[in-house]
Structure 1
């Protein structure tokens, strides 16, 4: 079979489809130089690779602003900066801490000059707590610093010996256990681990007993304090001591002068002593009874005396005991108005007494003396001859609400 049937005449040309009416939009537009150098008669040049379009950020006003990336942005393991109060000393220069992380230190210089970017130094980081200061000494490298003193330091060895302490402070600050007040750090977290429930139940009884003991002790202290306050309110002591002595007749000088004669063994009606007065008169005093005479210590023939000086005492009844003292005007007024008066002896006994105001008391009060002499009379038999020479204190007391 002749294969010419399948042959094409030279004049016959294969039909080609018409090009599409729609023109494709190029992904990347040609540049002006490419359009200029293109010649339809020549082969089409290869199309360049598409170039990414970089869009600059625009400000709210519409103007384009360039924002340079920070120098330390490339650290993929950078930790967050925290506002923890601290201070830094680097190469003798002091800095006030602005923020800190496990990688960097941001601080503000308070004094000194610039250290120079890229230099390495040993830093002293101080965290001030309420009662102590935690200091770390890592090696740091200066990342940046400006003339205003704002500096950034990078830890050269972030996993060094300072890491456990610094990590604990950072984690505690993040967890809320640390509170910053006026540049100080206070710990507010738990101080002891929680106890198991069984152990807590075992201690509940002890805590209850301890609470009851504290309550009982508090009540006791309140009672003691109340009794002390009541005693201070209702009780007062006189300043001068009380003297217990035998009751007798006291013989005093009636004028200033010199004793010219003294006879303690004189009988009734005889001259007991004589005083040559400064006025030139001789004053003789006779013995009133056949009684015991006790001469005052320091009195003898030739002794000069003043008016009212005690020369001797005549004891009529040797068993009679008397107590006397100097009492304040305020205390005398309280005793006269019904306050209870007790005489507290130095042997521990407390004897109720009655205050007797004599003529000497009235005279001293009229003269305006602050303290006046009074006599104290106790119940019969309360004081004996064994109490002679003992001292005591005078105590005044009144009932509650002044009754």
Structure 2
């Protein structure tokens, strides 16, 4: 596992006081490694877990050529002459039952959806295209109603025996569970769940239910962190509020890294805040302190801390509520996915019109909170939620996307195209 300092030493132009977002994520990606533990789970309990190994299909799916709909199976050579096709019906094929009928030229078999295709047949004409005659013993239909091979599902067209069905690192979704069930897989090997400890720091913080003294605020950050972490399906260790006391802080850090794979704190890393928080972080491990060229969320600590032979990743986030959420989504979320062993592609960015001008200076990445909505002309446009201060948590609650203004981007005029990242899929 590379040390943080060895990774940083390989970077050109590294400046911890004005670190671009992309460079910060690159450093984190070099340091974070997946947990190694695995467990075997019943299929029904594996939703949202990370697949630990490739799943290879043990069978062909479907196991036989079969009909994609109710109709009549026949040999497609009958279509060559054009005009009307007249065929003798010699039997019926039902799903789940073998059909002994083997029609020759000029014959057909009545077939139900999912039934095995009779020998020699390669095409199914849907029943709604057919005129049934002679008491059901004969059918007539136009030759141009179907093409050779229509409405036939081929053996193994979904998955062939020996083909990779799902790749290691996939976060299992409902469709994946159905796919595994179709292969007869009852249990699956997954990575063990990540354990994440989190706490807030600050003498001014009060927990819900406590009276608010002058100058104090309720701790909202633990609740947003709790919600964001729940979305990742990790084991949570909520350590509450830790006062600005060196002994209490060190005890909290030690307990956290002895019991968790990752530790997330909010507060204590900004300029002017208690220096001993940073001192304790640095004393316990390999930690660096950044001022990231972004808004909101400039201050951040990252690294590893250790106690009693146990080591954990550390993410020291700012104290302002919106800054906590922005830094979590754009740094911590991806790092935790990597630590979980999950292969999660970056979320796509949409380009839409800005409904109004947005002020922006080059040299930092900004994550404005936006509301994406249909425009009058049928397109899409986005507007900011109002005040964008890092303490205005309402801006996150009202928004449905981030307006992502890149590092070198300048001010935006009304009608300009901007990139947005939808909250759907992120949160």
Indicate whether the TM-score tops 0.5. no
With a CA cutoff of 8 Å and minimum separation of 6, indicate the structure with the bigger relative contact order: 2
Larger radius of gyration: 1
TM bucket normalised to smaller: under 0.3
The two structures have a TM-score, normalised by structure 1, of: 0.18
TM-score normalised over the length of structure 2? 0.18
